[in-house]
Every structure is written in structure tokens, then in C-alpha cells.
């Protein structure tokens, strides 16, 4: 049997200090299969980014186990990890005078020689990645001149060019308008279905997540990360528990958040 | 693609022109026929002409070539490493470290009552190298411990300020002659470098540039930011060390023999970015080498005002020549800060 793409066993995530460790939520137990589209949902400051960074190896987890394709995370070298997992980070890429084509081609760098020479196969992969993300027509434009939505699609194309089975995206929908959010969401879903990519994104778009996600990772008010499906989350009133406010409540019928009083 | 070929052609084509200008013109007017016969190894009308060509002009041209390439490449690497358009070869305090070494040699000599001290280019080179190595070593150790690259930048700048303050104290207590010797060193000079020294510079610069070539891939990945670079398998601390090492060798090696050659390290990479309209290091690396050499040869030609005894400080010439070009190019651009 194939090992799960991502597996967290009693993993404690948070930050280490000189005085000791500072976990920010209860131990996490999740398992992700190939081709699954996972949406990580939770309020600001509840630790979505910390979970993703612990899976991507950017920060060390405190205890327990994080396994990528069955291998314990700290034992995977950076170059090995680059072949298994690609990232789309929250921090905007500040880059001037680099074309979309060049930026997407950077995704091939882990596989090129010391001079980063592109083979015809590399160029084909870059071309296909741009095509899949609908940015092929932007190939010769400077990345810095693009709109936010276009930039995000290019960032995803770069991750796709890395040809990793797993892609992590940290709040890829921030600052995007409704149409762009929907386009990115359906693009990611398509990558899961068509290319068997495993994708984990953190997002605040609960409504969209409920329609597209295979699984929801919900961080609730009790600092638990709950692995669930969209249907189960609604049935068990998990969103009502996770988002407690006197201004807004989740309506299970319409699967949307409604203002309580204006 | 065609316009790029033209640009490369221009960069390469101007090289022999500037070299020829530097051979042909200088303080002493040498007839063209004599220059040709000297270069071809035949007899000329005066032995002095031969000495001038072989022992003054040719070494100067070689130094200018090494210097232009080395300083531009170290500037390019620093700008990308720190993601800062104002970074240059001396941002890590190499020049102030070298200056400290020099001022200790020049001004400190009197403290130890060494009155009849001879300043050869070798003692100057050793003093500046030791000073630069000291500062670079501190930056090196800190960059191993510190994760945030901006902290490294601040440490470099602060070390620079600290050594400059030490130099200030020494200057206050030194004589007018010592001050003049020091100030002239800071103006930079491509003269008085002999073949023996050139062979040392050549070795150091060649190794520095070779390391730089190996850094090109890392430089491009760093354009995306450290988070992305790491996610694509780049070992951040290792590549950071190689970049600092290359810069240290290039800027340190030149500074040891020519003094802190200012301006072109910051400016040449920008000129190449604006001209080639790219931030891709694969293009900028060779372009900066060629542009730097051209710039240095032209500056040196102007510094030795043809047919006169005047030799201008090279640092003043590079700035006076470069600033108008920069204004002209930058004002035509919308966002220079966004170009890296």
C-alpha cells in the first residue's frame, strides 16, 4: 500500500524559544491521500500558516511525526523535498524585470545542472504549466506588471512546473476579486482531478471550500485541528463552533455565513 | 532577440576600441608608428616609449580590465543577495576594513615611531587585505549564526561605521602628510600596479569570478525570495557563504592594490538591468563583466587627460562620468527600485 502523501502523527506545531517550546495548538493527527484537495480553514492567528510551514519544513515541528510520502520530514534533504513538494507562499514575490516565462522556468531549477541549463523537456514542461494555468499569453510580460489575479496564477504555474506530487498554498486567494478567487479555486481543483496532484491550501473562503474541497482541516476555538469532509462539517455544526461571533453565523442551509444584525 | 545581439555586439566591440585608446593616448604623446613597432616587438625611436607602453599603459589596461570585471560582479551579487538596489561591493564593510588597515599602516607607523617607513604597494596591499579580511570574517561568522539576511546587512553597515570612526580618531592625531597619503589611497588608482601584482590580482579575480559563475543559479532563485529559494532545494546558508566569499575575493583583491574603487560596483549592474531589461542573472553576469570593463577603460582613459600631465583620481572620474548616464537612464524608467 502506498504511503500517505502527508501524514501527521501527534504532531505538535508551534515555535521553539530559549525557555522551551511554545505549541500553538493540540497535537495534530491527519493523513492525506494522493489527489486530495484539502482546505485549511480557521480564523486569523489560529495557526494556519504554522501548520503549513511545519509541513513544508520551513519551521521545525516540536514533537510527534510529520511524514512526507512515508519519510520523516527532518531526514529529507532540501533538494529531495523540492522534488516532492512545491509552495505558493503568502509573501508576494517582489521581482522586477523578470518575465512570466522566466519566472515559471525557475520552477525547473531543482532539476537542472549547476548552470541551470534548460533542456527541451524542461521548456516543454514550463510551456505546459503556463498553459494549464491559463497564463501562456502572458509569457513575455513582466511579472511585476501583472494584476494580482494573474500574478497568483503565475505563482501556481511556477509550482506546477516543479512537477511535484504535492503543492502547498498559503492563502492564495488574498486580495483577489470574486471571479479570480473562483478561477484559482477551480484551477486547483482541476489540477487535483486531471494531474492527481495533492493540494493543501489555507483559505478564508469557506463557501468555495465547501464546494470544491475533498477534505476540510478546520482549526476551531479549542485549538484543535479537525480533519473532516465538507458534508460532515456542516452536519456536525463544526463551523458554528469554529467561528463564534455575535456579528455573524454560519447558515447550514445556504452553506454561507450570514450577518446576525446590521 | 536581434536587439539583444546588437547590445552584446556593442559591449564586445567597444572593448578593443577602448583598449586601443588607452594604449595610444596618455601624458606623453607617442607617434602611432612607434606604438605599432613597440607592440610588434620591433625597435622604436626611443627606449622611453617602450617603457611607457610596456610598464605603464599595458599594466594599467590589464588592471582596469580586472578591476572593472571584479567590482561589477561583486556589486551584482551583493544587490541580489540583499535584494537592495543600493547594495554594492563594499556594503559588507570590506572597503572600510581595508581603509582601517591602510590608516593603521600610514598613521599608526608614527605611533610606533617608525619614521623611515617605506610605503610599497605590497605593504599597502597586505595592510588593506588584513583589514578587509578582519571585517569580512566577522560578517562571515555572523551570517552563519543569523537567519535573517537583513541582520547581516545591518551588521556590515555598522561595522563599516565603526571602522570609519576608528579611522577618524587616527586621522585627528595624524600629520598633514599622512592624511594626504591616506586620502589619495581612498581616491583609488590603477597606476603603479606592476606585472607581479597583476598576476596576483588575476589569480584572485579569476577564482572570485569562477565562484560567482557557480552562484548564478542561486542568485536567480534568491530573486524569488528566500522562502521560495529554499523550497526549490537551495541551501540558503551555504549559497550565502559562497556569495560573500566571491564578493570578498573580488572586492578585497582589487581594493588591496587599487584602493576602494567606488561607484561602478553599484552602477554597472543597474546599467545592465536597464539596458537589457532583465533581472535574470544569467544575462546580467556576463553583461556586467563586459560593461564594467568598458566603463573602467573609458574612465581610465579620461583620468589620464590625453597630452597633459594631469592624472585625475579614478573614483572621481567614474562618478562624474557615470552619474549623468544614470540620471538619463533612471529618469526614463518608471521604477528603478523594482528592477532587481
| Complex ipTM value | 0.91
Q: Which three cell numbers stand for residue B121?
A: 604597494
CB contact under 8 A, A106 and B221: yes
At B106 the pLDDT is 81
- The chain-wide mean pLDDT, for chain B, equals 86
Domain-by-domain residue ranges, chain B? 2-332
**Per DSSP, what are the bridge partners of residue B278?**
none
Interfacial residues of B (vs A; Cβ cutoff 8 Å) = 83, 213-214, 216-217, 220-221, 223-225, 227-228, 230-235, 273, 277-280, 282, 335, 338-340
Closest in B227, B282, B338 to A96, CB measured: B338
Instruction: Give the end of a domain, one of A148, A163, A178.
Output: A163
- With a cut of 70, which residues of chain B have pLDDT below it? 1-2, 110-119, 333-340
Q: For residue B223, list chain A residues with Cβ-Cβ distance below 8 A.
A: 95, 98, 106
Q: How far is CA A14 from CA A26, A85, A218, B147, in A?
A: 10, 21, 17, 18
> Distance from A145 to chain B by nearest Cα, in Å?
11
Residue A157 shares a structural domain with residue A171: no
Q: How far is CA A148 from CA A143, A181, A256, in A?
A: 10, 11, 25
CB contact under 8 A, B278 and A98: yes
At B183 the pLDDT is 87
Residue A98 shares a structural domain with residue A204: no
CB contact under 8 A, B280 and A102: yes
| Residue in B231, B235, B278, B281 to test binding to A, most A beta-carbons within 10 Å | B231
Q: CA-nearest residue of chain A to B235?
A: A78
Query: CA A31, CA A38: separation in Å to the nearest integer?
Result: 11
Mapping DSSP to helix (H, G, I), strand (E, B) and coil, where does residue A81 land?
Answer: helix
Q: Range of A242's domain? A: 1-78+166-262
Closest in B217, B225, B279 to A115, CB measured: B217
**Per DSSP, what are the bridge partners of residue A250?**
A257
Residue A190 shares a structural domain with residue A66: yes
Residue A57 shares a structural domain with residue A107: no
At B60 the pLDDT is 93
Nearest C-alpha neighbor of B126 from the set B107, B165, B98: B98
| Number of structural domains in chain A | 2
Residue A193 shares a structural domain with residue A233: yes
Interfacial residues of A (vs B; Cβ cutoff 8 Å) = 56, 58, 77-83, 85-87, 89, 91, 93-99, 102-103, 106-107, 109-110, 112, 114-116, 144, 162
Residue A155 shares a structural domain with residue A36: no
User: What dihedral do alpha carbons A70, A60, A52, A7 form, nearest 10°?
Assistant: 20
At B126 the pLDDT is 84
CATH 1.10.3470.10 fits B2-332, yes or no: yes
Q: How far is CA B76 from CA A104, A116, B62, B138, B325, in A?
A: 23, 18, 21, 22, 18
Q: CA-nearest residue of chain B to A168?
A: B231
Which phi and psi angles does A247 have, rounded to 5°? -105, -25
Residue A200 shares a structural domain with residue A262: yes
B78-104 confidence digits (pLDDT tens): 999 988 888 888 888 888 888 898 888
At B95 the pLDDT is 84
At B214 the pLDDT is 96
Q: Give the domain CATH number at A198.
A: 3.40.50.300
Burial of A29: CB neighbours in 10 Å, binned 0-12, 13-18, 19+:
middle
Instruction: Give the end of a domain, one of A137, A163, A189.
Output: A163
Buried b (16+ CB within 10 A) or exposed e, A233-259: bbeeebbebbbeeeeeebeeeeeebee
A83-116 confidence digits (pLDDT tens): 999 999 988 788 888 999 999 999 999 999 988 8
Q: For residue A89, list chain B residues with Cβ-Cβ distance below 8 A.
A: 225, 227-228, 231
Residue A121 shares a structural domain with residue A240: no
Q: Give, in degrees to the nearest 5, the angle at Cα B211 between B206 and B212.
A: 95
Question: Who's near B80: CB < 8 A, 6+ residues apart?
Answer: B219, B222, B223, B281, B340
A160-180 confidence digits (pLDDT tens): 999 999 999 999 998 889 999
Q: Which three cell numbers stand for residue B138?
A: 566577522
Spell out the per-residue pLDDT of chain A, length 262, in tens: 688 999 999 999 998 777 778 888 999 999 999 999 999 999 888 899 999 999 999 889 999 999 999 999 989 999 999 999 999 998 878 888 899 999 999 999 999 998 889 999 999 999 999 999 999 999 999 999 999 999 999 999 999 999 999 999 999 998 889 999 999 999 999 999 999 999 999 999 998 999 999 999 999 888 999 999 999 998 888 888 888 888 888 888 888 888 887 6
- Is residue A52 within 8 Å of residue A225, measured between CB atoms? no
Amino acid at each position: 500500500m502506498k504511503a500517505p502523501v502527508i501524514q501527521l502523527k501527534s504532531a505538535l506545531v508551534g515555535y521553539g524559544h530559549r525557555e522551551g517550546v511554545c505549541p500553538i495548538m493540540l497535537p495534530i493527527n491527519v493523513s492525506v491521500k494522493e489527489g486530495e484537495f484539502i482546505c485549511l480553514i480557521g480564523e486569523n492567528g489560529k495557526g494556519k500558516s504554522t501548520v503549513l510551514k511545519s509541513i513544508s519544513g520551513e519551521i521545525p515541528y516540536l514533537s510527534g511525526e510529520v511524514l512526507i510520502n512515508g519519510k520523516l520530514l527532518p531526514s529529507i534533504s532540501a533538494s529531495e523535498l523540492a522534488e516532492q513538494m512545491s509552495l505558493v507562499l503568502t509573501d508576494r514575490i517582489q521581482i522586477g524585470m523578470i518575465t512570466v516565462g522566466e519566472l515559471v522556468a525557475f520552477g525547473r531549477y531543482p532539476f537542472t545542472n549547476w548552470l541551470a541549463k534548460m533542456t527541451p523537456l524542461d521548456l516543454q514542461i514550463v510551456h505546459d504549466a503556463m498553459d494549464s494555468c491559463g497564463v501562456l499569453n502572458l509569457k513575455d510580460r513582466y511579472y511585476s506588471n501583472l494584476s494580482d489575479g494573474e500574478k497568483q496564477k503565475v505563482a501556481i504555474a511556477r509550482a506546477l512546473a516543479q512537477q511535484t506530487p504535492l503543492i502547498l498554498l498559503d492563502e492564495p486567494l488574498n486580495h483577489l476579486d470574486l471571479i479570480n478567487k473562483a478561477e484559482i479555486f477551480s484551477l486547483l481543483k482541476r489540477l487535483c482531478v486531471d494531474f492527481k496532484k495533492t493540494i493543501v491550501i489555507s483559505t478564508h473562503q469557506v463557501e468555495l471550500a465547501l464546494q470544491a474541497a475533498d477534505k476540510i482541516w478546520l482549526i476551531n476555538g479549542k485549538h484543535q485541528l479537525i480533519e473532516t469532509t465538507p458534508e460532515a462539517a456542516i452536519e456536525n455544526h463544526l463551523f458554528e463552533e469554529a467561528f463564534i461571533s455575535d456579528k455573524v453565523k454560519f447558515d447550514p442551509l445556504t452553506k454561507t455565513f450570514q450577518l446576525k444584525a446590521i | 532577440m536581434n536587439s539583444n545581439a546588437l547590445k552584446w555586439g556593442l559591449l564586445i566591440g567597444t572593448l578593443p576600441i577602448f583598449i586601443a585608446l588607452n594604449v595610444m593616448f596618455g601624458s606623453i604623446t607617442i607617434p602611432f608608428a612607434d606604438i605599432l613597432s613597440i607592440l610588434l616587438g620591433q625597435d622604436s625611436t626611443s627606449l622611453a616609449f617602450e617603457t611607457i607602453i610596456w610598464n605603464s599603459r599595458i599594466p594599467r589596461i590589464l588592471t582596469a580590465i580586472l578591476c572593472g570585471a571584479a567590482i561589477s560582479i561583486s556589486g551584482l551579487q551583493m544587490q541580489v543577495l540583499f535584494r537592495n538596489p543600493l547594495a554594492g561591493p563594499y556594503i559588507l564593510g570590506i572597503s572600510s576594513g581595508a581603509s582601517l588597515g591602510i590608516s593603521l599602516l600610514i598613521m599608526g607607523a608614527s605611533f610606533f615611531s617608525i619614521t623611515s617607513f617605506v610605503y610599497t604597494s605590497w605593504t599597502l596591499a597586505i595592510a588593506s587585505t588584513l583589514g578587509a579580511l578582519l571585517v569580512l570574517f566577522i560578517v562571515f561568522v555572523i551570517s552563519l549564526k543569523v537567519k535573517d539576511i537583513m541582520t547581516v546587512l545591518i551588521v556590515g553597515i555598522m561595522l563599516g561605521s565603526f571602522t570609519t570612526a576608528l579611522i577618524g580618531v587616527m586621522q585627528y592625531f595624524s600629520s598633514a602628510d599622512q592624511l594626504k597619503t591616506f586620502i589619495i589611497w581612498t581616491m583609488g588608482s590603477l597606476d603603479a600596479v606592476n606585472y607581479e601584482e597583476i598576476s596576483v590580482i588575476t589569480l584572485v579575480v579569476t577564482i572570485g569570478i569562477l565562484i560567482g559563475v557557480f552562484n548564478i543559479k542561486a542568485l536567480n532563485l534568491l530573486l524569488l525570495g528566500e522562502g521560495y529559494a529554499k523550497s526549490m532545494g537551495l541551501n540558503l546558508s551555504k549559497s550565502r557563504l559562497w556569495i560573500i566569499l566571491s564578493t570578498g575575493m573580488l572586492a578585497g583583491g582589487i581594493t588591496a592594490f587599487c584602493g576602494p574603487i567606488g561607484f561602478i560596483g553599484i552602477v554597472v549592474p543597474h546599467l545592465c538591468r536597464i539596458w537589457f531589461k532583465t533581472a535574470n542573472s544569467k544575462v546580467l553576469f556576463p553583461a556586467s563583466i563586459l560593461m564594467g570593463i568598458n566603463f573602467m577603460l573609458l574612465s581610465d582613459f579620461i583620468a589620464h587627460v590625453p597630452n597633459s600631465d594631469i592624472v585625475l583620481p579614478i573614483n572621481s572620474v567614474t562618478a562624474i562620468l557615470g552619474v549623468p548616464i544614470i540620471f538619463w537612464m533612471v529618469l526614463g524608467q518608471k521604477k528603478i527600485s523594482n528592477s532587481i
